[in-house]
Structure 1
Amino acid sequence: MTYPRPSLWIAGAACRGTGPTIAVLDPATGGALAEFAGASADEIARAEAAAAHGYRIWRATPAPERERVLRLTAQAMRADRSPMAALIVQENGKPMREALAEIDAAADTFDFYAAEARRSYGRTIPARSPGTRMATSREPVGVVAAFSPWNFPAINLVRKLAPALAAGCAVIAKPAEETPATALAIANHLGQAGLPPGALNLLFGDPAQISSVLIASPVIRKVTFTGSTAVGRQLAQQAGAALKRCTMELGGHAPTIICADADPEAAADLVAAAKFRNAGQSCNVASRFYVHRSGYDRFLARLAERARAIVVGPGSDDATGMGPLSNARRLDAMSVLVSDAAGANARVVAGGRPLERPGFYFSPTVLAEVPASAAVMRIEPFGPIAPVAAFDDLDEALALANDSAFALAGYVVTDHAPTARRLAQGLNAGAIGVNTFTVALPEVPFGGSGASGWGHEGGPEGLEPYLLTRFVHEA
């Protein structure tokens, strides 16, 4: 598949930028897919004006029509799923089956919020005086600045677009510069489905320039960001200075507790199927493992066996079980984390090194006897590294799991219902999976606290940040 030349998207059409040149790389080879010009101050200003105009039209659009546009977009994405998935494979590197699943999840998200567009209910409040009326209505918050990352270029963007558009907001989005074509394909489907020009605009370029200008702009009324905790703090400070609402879906470092009653080999199979998906580049992926000492050796041996058996290669190859990391930054970070853990007396029992080939490949890695002080246990690895440590009782397991600034997701593997309830109540996490690693779906709320951010995406809760409550008292 030929990679399309990326562009900006302003006022319902693709347009060329006049800002800095952006190179889009193929993670499978490290070579260039395309170069294009990002946004300058002029294009940012054009996007602001287009969004203000588009918002006036879209907010006045009846909810059933907004629903229709979102449903048509979902249908179009499903019809176009293979070409769209191929774009993700080219830009992001993940295997084709994972890219197809991502397109399906994005389409499901549009469908879910299409239905939610009809459910922005107000209420009537019993009046205190005869002949008067008191009522509330739900109104769109305004124009939204949305920032989404490269690890899931379709679903992370759609989890912002779908609720915002369902609520009647307009959006200026800055998706990741590494994955522009996926975002542009989504914008094109929305436009063809009937979204008014200006209701969605896409900017690429200098992230610091675009974010600072948009957040300070009087046009923008809300900010939503998915990405690192460090960048989230900066954007939250800017939004706070302007007294603008913000949703921050930030980093995670999800603990997984493998209990004494669990089958160690079956638990390792479950972990291996989830941990190395998308090469471990997910905020809610299981990323540190605490195993009861009675099953520790069996779990470790099986997980290492499964890691060594994973076929690492280009996402376009049918045999590939794990693709490359998405960029050279992640490749370098993996080597640093493994070296630090080894220096802290952890054992490398599988992988532990980059692969000697073009592209950004790192071997699926399992580390044993990893101390709590090792960097890989303290910071989000965001890659295919599974650090494992033993525990002796549930109190110790909870203490180890909760010894983190992050509180996004957590997981438990157990066959004992009371143990499951105890750990689910005791883990400090916004989303908890028991014998499953699926915690982010269109219909459920997903969000954390602490260094993992503020607010939720998904479910009816995901619509709330894009709505204001208006009270009217008629006498």
Structure 2
Amino acid sequence: MFDKQTKSIFIGGKWIDVQEKETIYNPTTLEPITEVAYGGAQETEIAIQAASKAFTVWSDMTGRQRSRVLYKASQLMLEEADRLGEILTLEQGKPLNEAIGEVKGAANFLLWYAEEASRGYGEWIPSSIKSKRMLVIPQPVGVVGAITPWNFPSSMVTRKIGPALAAGCTVVLKPAPETPLSAIEIIKIFDRAGMPEGVVNLVTGDAQAIGNALLLDKDVRLLTFTGSTAVGKYLMRESAEHVKKLSLELGGHAPSIVFDDADIDLATNLVLASKFRNNGQTCICTNRLYVHESIADQFTALLTEKVSQLKVGSGLEEDVDLGPLINQQALEKVQSHLKDAIEKGAQVVVGGGEWEGNLEGCFYNPSVLTNVSDDMLIMNEETFGPIIPIQTFRDEEEVLHKANDTDYGLAAYIFTESTNQAIRASEKLEFGIVGINDVFPAVAEAPFGGIKQSGNGKEGGHHGMDEFLEKKFVSIGIS
């Protein structure tokens, strides 16, 4: 599927080669897949210049003209979803059906913003002065630096650059060093779809050098980033030099609350789907599970039974539910959270420990913990792995206080059959996204983003394109 060396730096409509290379490994087998170019600040600066030059042409096109390119790219992604899904599984490890689903979701973002490209509406303001006419014109921000994560290496690319391109911005993309191959394929698709030279550029290699070049160059007017809160804070500090706009989707620590009237079979299925999707390596997956004490035993028994039936293995095998963790560092974090919980009194009711299979990757058994207390790391930090800690509660006020007692505010989930309780609780939860009997809130047509230390700005929906538009006020004096 890949040559020994894969071209991975795309600038000004051309694939650029550099002498230094970096090996990309399959996290399932730890075997090398291919080598990609190891670029740095110099390549990034050239890419920024190309994007700056292309901005004049791209931003001057009509929304309908930009829409045609995005629509074509979306079509090509859907046509090649199986091939792109296999590439995603090879470099990231998630089960193939999940990977193909992610590719189709990525194509949906391009389709949505192909449609939104023609809808960057302005505003006519009724004047209080007879001799004045006032209007607001939306205009593209300029060159955008996009930094994407490894856990969703396809959909995070299109969720960021889709709205940027629809708005008329040009882009320099830096994918995660662990998973550049999906981004490379998406750039190839944009090229085939007729994207003008320099509108979309890709630089792989030295993450810090590339990121700093995007951060410090004044021609990059907006930086969109998905990743850790610590890195997000660094970007906020350093971007002050040029008062650069930021769109940040940072860490999460999602609570799931199961009230006493919940449909237990539905709730266990959805918690299972939320927590173990992508092996728990998602920013919106269930990290803390609160179950009403009156149904806790029944709920835990059913959830434990379902967790015990999950299949671990290579994402390319049929019926596999969980692939590997991304690397050794991720495995060590999961192990440290489990060890800390056990030392503080938690009980492992299923799973616990590394998976003893015949593959070399960093696999971990899906696990459920009970007798969990608030002082445990797993109840305060994002685990990014396949462990569900269960804690019981007595009343709504108590559990909402616990759910909100965190610096994070990305996603939260409620399971209840009561409309009153669902509305009341969703309004009191301090999170940017709340799912009610729903754990898959990330769709192209709706805003996605957190509050507090989970970031700022929105991705998805018409709100996502707003991030890439400046609103220019024009005041006209008439006689």
Indicate conservation of the 8 Å contact 1:264/1:296, yes or no: no
AA at the equivalent of 2:401: A
Q: CA deviation at 1:128?
A: 5.8
Q: Tell me, in whole angstroms, the C-alpha distance in 1 between the residues paired with 2:461 and 2:205.
A: 31
Q: CA deviation at 1:2?
A: 4.4
Paired positions, count: 474
Q: Tell me, in whole angstroms, the C-alpha distance in 2 between the residues paired with 1:446 and 1:304.
A: 31
Indicate conservation of the 8 Å contact 1:6/1:34, yes or no: no
After the TM superposition, which residues 53-68 of structure 1 pair with which residues of structure 2 at under 5 Å, given as runs? 53-68=53-68
Q: CA deviation at 1:440?
A: 1.0
Q: CA deviation at 1:98?
A: 0.5
AA at the equivalent of 1:375: L
Indicate conservation of the 8 Å contact 2:45/2:213, yes or no: no
AA at the equivalent of 1:11: G
Q: Tell me, in whole angstroms, the C-alpha distance in 2 between the residues paired with 1:374 and 1:129.
A: 62
Q: CA deviation at 1:25?
A: 1.2
Q: Tell me, in whole angstroms, the C-alpha distance in 1 between the residues paired with 2:3 and 2:275.
A: 29
AA at the equivalent of 2:11: I
AA at the equivalent of 1:412: I
AA at the equivalent of 2:422: A
What SS does structure 1 have at the residue aligned with 2:406? coil
Structure 2: give runs of 5+ residues left out of the alignment: none
Indicate conservation of the 8 Å contact 2:355/2:364, yes or no: yes
Q: Counterpart in 2 of 1:458?
A: 460
AA at the equivalent of 2:85: A
Q: CA distance change for structure 1 residues 392 and 243 in 2, over 3 Å: closer, same or farther? A: same
Q: CA distance change for structure 1 residues 436 and 213 in 2, over 3 Å: closer, same or farther? A: same
Indicate conservation of the 8 Å contact 1:154/1:183, yes or no: yes
AA at the equivalent of 1:66: R
AA at the equivalent of 1:138: P
What SS does structure 1 have at the residue aligned with 2:30? coil
Q: CA deviation at 1:201?
A: 0.8
Indicate conservation of the 8 Å contact 1:17/1:43, yes or no: no
Q: Counterpart in 1 of 2:13?
A: 12
Q: Tell me, in whole angstroms, the C-alpha distance in 2 between the residues paired with 1:387 and 1:180.
A: 33
Q: Counterpart in 2 of 1:231?
A: 231
Q: Deviations over 1:12-57 (max 9, x none)?
A: 22222345x4221101112221223311332122111111111121
Q: CA deviation at 1:319?
A: 2.1
Q: Tell me, in whole angstroms, the C-alpha distance in 2 between the residues paired with 1:10 and 1:362.
A: 40
Q: Deviations over 1:339-380 (max 9, x none)?
A: 011011001111111123411211111111111110011001
AA at the equivalent of 1:339: K
Q: Counterpart in 2 of 1:28?
A: 28
Indicate conservation of the 8 Å contact 2:445/2:461, yes or no: yes
Q: Counterpart in 1 of 2:284?
A: 284
Q: Tell me, in whole angstroms, the C-alpha distance in 1 between the residues paired with 2:18 and 2:376.
A: 44
Q: CA deviation at 1:203?
A: 1.2
Matched, 1:401 2:403: yes
Q: CA deviation at 1:6?
A: 4.6
Q: Deviations over 1:136-162 (max 9, x none)?
A: 211100000111100000111111100
Q: Counterpart in 2 of 1:44?
A: 44
After the TM superposition, which residues 428-447 of structure 1 pair with which residues of structure 2 at under 5 Å, given as runs? 428-447=430-449
What SS does structure 2 have at the residue aligned with 1:36? strand
What SS does structure 1 have at the residue aligned with 2:448? coil
CA RMSD of aligned residues (A): 1.5
User: Residue 385 of structure 1 is aligned with which of 380, 384, 387?
Assistant: 387
Q: Tell me, in whole angstroms, the C-alpha distance in 2 between the residues paired with 1:270 and 1:41.
A: 44
Q: Tell me, in whole angstroms, the C-alpha distance in 2 between the residues paired with 1:3 and 1:330.
A: 29
Q: Counterpart in 1 of 2:351?
A: 351
Q: CA distance change for structure 1 residues 262 and 40 in 2, over 3 Å: closer, same or farther? A: closer
Q: Tell me, in whole angstroms, the C-alpha distance in 2 between the residues paired with 1:214 and 1:304.
A: 46
TM-score calculated relative to the size of structure 1:
0.97
Indicate conservation of the 8 Å contact 1:304/1:349, yes or no: yes
TM-score calculated relative to the size of structure 2:
0.96
Matched, 1:335 2:332: no
